[in-house]
Homo-oligomer: A and B are copies of this chain.
Amino acid sequence: MPELLFKTGEGETRIFAAPDETLLAAARKANVAIDAPCSGNGVCGKCRVCILSGETKAPAPKHLTKEEFDQGWRLACETTALTDCVIDVPDIASAYRRRMKTADLSSGEELELFRSVGASLAEAGLGVDSGVSVVAVAMDEPVAGDGLPDNERLARAVQDALGTEDEPEVPFFCLKKLPGLMRESGFSLKAVVEEKGGRAKLLDVLAPDDGTPPAGLAVDIGTTTVAAVLCDLTTGEILAKASSGNGQIRYGADVINRIVEQGRPGGVARLQDAVVRETLVPVIEAICAESGVPASHIYKVSLAGNTTMEHLLLGVPAEYLRTEPYVPAFFAAAPLDPAEIGVRLAPGCVMTLAPNIGSYVGGDITSGALASMIWDSDGPDMLIDLGTNGEIVFGGREFLMSCACSAGPAFEGGDISCGMRATDGAIEKASIDRETMEPAFGVIGDTAPVGVCGSGIIDVIAGLFEAGIINGKGRFVRDGRRVVRDEFGAGYVLAFGDESGTGRRLVLNETDIDSFIRAKGAVFSAIMTLISSLGFTASDLNRISVAGGIGSGINVANAIKIGMLPDLPLDRYRYIGNSSLTGMWAHLTSRPAAEKLGEISSSMTYIELSTEPGYMDAFVAACFLPHTDGSLFPSVTGGAK
């Protein structure tokens, strides 16, 4: 058996490869992270590694230039070792693992989204009101004749302090520390309590000088990115934020590949481990380090993900989500202690999952709908969440309907040869000079570009189209220094080797543009199908909230130019960021908001697009820049057909 030595930015790992085992399969076994959005089907070309020594067997290169192939580059998913090999795993391939980010909240940009949602909710009567408070209690010291046990002494003092009807129960983990704590503190201490329906629940007891705020964690488990904020449950204040790529990515970029992998032997545990131990736990560690709040002070968790992500997170078999009749194990899971899935926070911590409403419209969307305020509007309004999938909510106070469109992972940089997620090195804004055809970029982290994320791709395609470099079909119709034609067809050079952060040329080619046009077509046709199903037209839309992790916000004007969003005045649009996360923050910090989430999810109807008459025609018609029916985009076409 050939021995493989993987070299990554994190160190070296050796493993013996089984006969005919691909480098990707061996790497997974050895816990060496290699990005594989297509789950190793040889489709996406993202799992490229460089063979430094040794003999390998691989098919003719499809995603690699001849030059790259000659340099030793291979796709790990279709390469097997014939002899011992030394394999370099480039940073970009395993970067999702180290892309742990804690947000610099001082900039205020991140915070503004939460503040704005908080203000809107408060105006609607759903302001910060978690029911959690910290009460200082002073008790009489026991003396002969007053032998009240410690737990009853505390319970009585808390009841007195709160004026509740009953004494709270003192749970086991508080009981354990109570005798020592009471006597060290001279029978004065702080009780962390949660009021609920007139009753108080004791969450913790703390020393009187313990100033740590009682914390709650809001989490969004995205297919691509896991993000969390820690907040003070008494004030709602955000204490820290962190995010990371979802460790499940090496089992596929989209939910279908993940479900397939979960169905294999040991898959349920493997997928759960990837998102919990490899992703969520480090995110929480980062957030605790950043905020100085220990995990043992996190008393509540509100978490949202799409239906598949919530299943995989809990380790609940998800395979019946992708086979007829597409039945999930749950829409709303009973609250649980996160320790049950291996996340150790405060003992007795309660984790609530946002309810799903369909197999492909999940808790992230109900949570996002809460944050978007669509439920409080005269409407009709719309929420468009552009993540690995696209989901759309349409309606207002009177009705709410939703659908999912299989946009594919293009908005997260998947399916695009030079695509990447919105992290350091990603081109997130772009413009192209009509004359010189030269680009200008905004790159996350202000570094040389290593790839392009969703918002950047929209800008680039809009720029190429406006400059007449590509036509409505996405074909290159102009030549220049940056237009190249090679074995992958024509493409636009975003960065030459000496301009890029990797030393490799970054090219957006016709195949990439095709993928993206299909993705934007899926979104636009879904929007139109939803609107017209109730007899509305696009111009009836009052306010459109765009959410999702496609950068620090998309350029809506450009999105309209390429026919992705309806051609409406720009002031009807607003970018609301990760609305699943802000919704969970609201759920965590406001009991009335949590109740509202329940109402939203039980009233929202789900439209299955694939069975909706006319959807397929609408989709095909939308796979053009901006649209085969130019009259839908008068601001772009001047009204011409």
Q: A334 to B149, Cβ gap below 8 A? A: no
Copies of chain A in the complex: 2
Residues of B within 8 A of A150 (CB): 320, 327-330
* Residue from the set A143, A169, A328 with the largest chain B CB neighbour count within 10 Å: A328
Interface members, chain A 129-146 (any B CB < 8 Å): 142-146
Q: B320 to A179, Cβ gap below 8 A? A: yes
CB distance from A272 to the nearest CB of B (A): 10
Residues of B within 8 A of A147 (CB): 325-328, 358-359
> With A and B bound together, what is the CA distance between A173 and B337 in angstroms?
11
Q: B142 to A325, Cβ gap below 8 A? A: yes
Interface members, chain A 120-178 (any B CB < 8 Å): 142-152, 169-173, 175-176, 178
> With A and B bound together, what is the CA distance between A33 and B332 in angstroms?
51
Q: B144 to A330, Cβ gap below 8 A? A: no
Q: Write out, one digit per residue, whether chain A residues 295-318 have a CB within 8 A of any chain B CB (1) or not (0).
A: 000000000000000000011110
Q: B330 to A151, Cβ gap below 8 A? A: yes
> With A and B bound together, what is the CA distance between A142 and B178 in angstroms?
51
Residues of B within 8 A of A336 (CB): 171-172
Q: B316 to A179, Cβ gap below 8 A? A: yes
Residues of B within 8 A of A320 (CB): 150, 179, 183
Q: Write out, one digit per residue, whether chain A residues 315-353 have a CB within 8 A of any chain B CB (1) or not (0).
A: 111011000111111110110100010000001000000
A19 at the interface (CB under 8 A from B): no
> With A and B bound together, what is the CA distance between A180 and B319 in angstroms?
10
CB distance from A267 to the nearest CB of B (A): 13
| In-complex Cβ contact of A171 among B151, B319, B325, B334 (8 A) | B334
Residues of B within 8 A of A152 (CB): 330-331
Q: A175 to B327, Cβ gap below 8 A? A: no
CB distance from A243 to the nearest CB of B (A): 26
Closest to A341 in B: B172
> With A and B bound together, what is the CA distance between A359 and B315 in angstroms?
45
Q: B317 to A180, Cβ gap below 8 A? A: yes
Residues of B within 8 A of A169 (CB): 334
* Residue from the set A146, A316, A324, A340 with the largest chain B CB neighbour count within 10 Å: A316
Q: B330 to A170, Cβ gap below 8 A? A: yes
Q: A329 to B175, Cβ gap below 8 A? A: yes
> With A and B bound together, what is the CA distance between A144 and B325 in angstroms?
5
Closest to A336 in B: B172
Closest to A183 in B: B320
CB distance from A510 to the nearest CB of B (A): 39
Size of the chain A interface, CB-CB below 8 angstroms: 43
| In-complex Cβ contact of A172 among B170, B172, B178, B334 (8 A) | B334
| In-complex Cβ contact of A327 among B142, B330, B358 (8 A) | B142
Q: Write out, one digit per residue, whether chain A residues 179-218 have a CB within 8 A of any chain B CB (1) or not (0).
A: 1100100000000000000000000000000000000000
CB distance from A165 to the nearest CB of B (A): 18
> With A and B bound together, what is the CA distance between A143 and B172 in angstroms?
45
| In-complex Cβ contact of A175 among B145, B173, B176, B334 (8 A) | B334
> With A and B bound together, what is the CA distance between A301 and B147 in angstroms?
28
Known: A147-B359, A317-B180. A172 touches B333 (CB 8 A): yes
Residues of B within 8 A of A170 (CB): 330, 334
Residues of B within 8 A of A326 (CB): 147
> With A and B bound together, what is the CA distance between A178 and B314 in angstroms?
13
Q: B340 to A179, Cβ gap below 8 A? A: no
Known: A334-B175, A336-B172. A149 touches B317 (CB 8 A): no
> With A and B bound together, what is the CA distance between A183 and B316 in angstroms?
14
Residues of B within 8 A of A359 (CB): 147
Closest to A351 in B: B172
CB distance from A531 to the nearest CB of B (A): 25
| In-complex Cβ contact of A317 among B151, B179, B316 (8 A) | B179
> With A and B bound together, what is the CA distance between A317 and B184 in angstroms?
13
CB distance from A38 to the nearest CB of B (A): 26
> With A and B bound together, what is the CA distance between A496 and B330 in angstroms?
73
> With A and B bound together, what is the CA distance between A179 and B328 in angstroms?
8
Residues of B within 8 A of A358 (CB): 147
CB distance from A361 to the nearest CB of B (A): 12
Residues of B within 8 A of A324 (CB): 144
Residues of B within 8 A of A175 (CB): 314, 316, 329-330, 333-334
> With A and B bound together, what is the CA distance between A220 and B171 in angstroms?
22
Q: Which 10 A-B pairs have the closest CB atoms?
A: A172-B336, A179-B317, A151-B330, A142-B327, A150-B329, A169-B334, A144-B325, A179-B329, A149-B328, A149-B330
Beyond A152-B331, A175-B333, 15 additional contacts (C-beta under 8 Å) are: A144-B325, A146-B325, A147-B359, A149-B328, A149-B329, A149-B330, A150-B320, A150-B329, A169-B334, A170-B330, A172-B333, A176-B315, A176-B316, A176-B317, A178-B316
In the complex, 12 of the A-B residue pairs with CB atoms within 8 angstroms, ordered by the A residue number, are: A145-B325, A146-B325, A151-B333, A169-B334, A172-B333, A172-B340, A175-B316, A176-B314, A176-B315, A178-B329, A179-B316, A340-B347
